[in-house]
Amino acid sequence: MMGSDWERDDELDRPREACGVFGICAAEVDAARLAFFALYALQHRGQESAGIATCDGMAAYLHKGMGLVAQVFTEENLRPLRGHLAIGHTRYSTSGSSHIRNAQPYLIETLHGPLGVAHNGNLTNVLTLRHRLLERGVGLSSSSDSEVITQMLAAPPPGGEPNGPDWAARIAAFMAVAEGAYSLVILTRKAVFAVRDPWGLRPLCLGELPINGRPGYVIASESCALGTIGATFLREVAPGEIIRLDHAGVHASMGAAPQPRSALCIFEYVYFARPDSMLEGQSVHRVRQRLGEELAREAPAAADIVLGVPDSATPAAIGFALASGIPYTEGLIKNRYIGRTFIQPDDRIRRIGVRLKFNPLAANLQGKRVVLVDDSVVRGNTIGPMIRLLRDGGAAEVHVRVSSPPVRHPCFMGIDMATYDELIAHRCTVEEIRRHIGADSLAYLSHEGLRRAVLGGAAADRGHCSACFTGHYPIALEEWWLRKAQEKLAFEQVWGGMS
């Protein structure tokens, strides 16, 4: 088990991303070591398990485990991961329980050599695809969408392969029947492939990594991973695109026609992506600052100082301060060395709750009217204790401003966005939430304000998925899906309880 139940309850009230993926094809390098550092940069996208699979052109090698990247990998277990091809994964479980059998990458042996897959997203028709595999006699050992994808890619495409394995055709055949969100990195004996679903729901980008004058290329969920290993950003993988990285360079083709209007998850801008990443040609940090500026214009407050919930809401708080003229300062000091731990707390520590992660800076708070900017409120289970912490530190008033709209709908495309019953904005009005959390006032950014901030620096309106705010899903989700989701949840609970 990764951490403990009390930690899940006490985590910051945030949705959690499914995972981060990375791929590399570069001669004369320790691909596994570069993958390690890239995963380290993508750690924010998943903290439950991590893994790396490599290939030297003949055999494939794999190491994965539960925990943070730095907990899973050591010099000793990185050394056997030989080869110039590698894929990596860091995971937070959404589809599939938090268990080693669901850790990625998946690596299997096929008639044409090794096949490894790492996946970010959720397939909305996975139960149908899973049933088809079982009907064919394919055995499955986990509840993860990603194992289903791996087994589907292991089979030849409907037209056969008269000239040997055609991995691009296999991927296209998968894309023809898959529904939902998927950004994939795929490892074969001779190449690394990158694939993005036709909606572009999850991010994926391509970078260049020259080694001793020879070209090398990498794929990553976010551009922040590229700079960490010295790679340069080339472009984003297009929705519906298949990219092959091999000794001859980069080969791109369309595996599925992109949708007329793409649907990158807008929560990447609100919270998921690292602020130093680039999405759709614009800085995530700058977009978050614009979110705060829009929020200040829509929901001003009479206050003395502006604070942000560290660290994710800091850019929005800076934007709010700039637009409002109220000075920005620090009021909550985050203990950055407290993360997930395997050590169980005693009852006294458990009762401390949010104080394990934050301390109030009383010198800045005493007698002050405070605007506390947060990027999202999902379950509403930590913002209340944080407000009490500020009052204990001497704040006279606490006005909460949220730089995204109320989250009223769950996500089925790879984000742990709770259920309807757990979403406080689905059950309660804004005034009821304000009373519940104990704020002097509470206001959210409007959906129109969110769109203005996101589109403010974009070259064009490419379209985004904002279903968690609006309930309008880009992929059709009829009533049967909700029933299937309950069946799937029960299935995962059975698998999660097995050892």
Alpha-carbon distance of 417 to 262, in angstroms, equals: 21
Alpha-carbon distance of 400 to 224, in angstroms, equals: 30
- Decide: 323 and 292 in contact? Cβ < 8 Å: yes
CA angle in degrees (0–180, nearest 5) for 369-373-375: 165
The residues pairing with 61 across neighbouring beta strands, listed in sequence order, are 54
Q: Name the pairing type of β-strands 264-265 and 464-465.
A: parallel
Alpha-carbon distance of 193 to 25, in angstroms, equals: 10
Catalytic annotation present for 19: yes
Residues 6+ apart with CB under 8 A from 188: 55, 112, 113, 114, 115, 116, 165, 167
Residue 343 DSSP code = S
- Decide: 308 and 334 in contact? Cβ < 8 Å: no
Neighbour tally for 137: CB within 10 Å: 6
Encoded tokens for 486:
């309950």
- Decide: 45 and 221 in contact? Cβ < 8 Å: yes
Q: Which of 37, 45, 35 is nearest to 218 (CA)?
A: 35
Pairs from 63-68 (Cβ < 8 Å, separation ≥ 24) = 64/89, 64/100, 64/103, 64/104, 64/105, 65/100, 65/103, 66/2, 66/98, 66/100, 66/103, 67/2, 67/340, 68/43, 68/339, 68/340
Residue type, 278: M
Task: Tell me which residue has tokens 């070209």.
Answer: 215
Phi/psi of residue 488, nearest 5 degrees: -65, -40
Catalytically active residues are 19
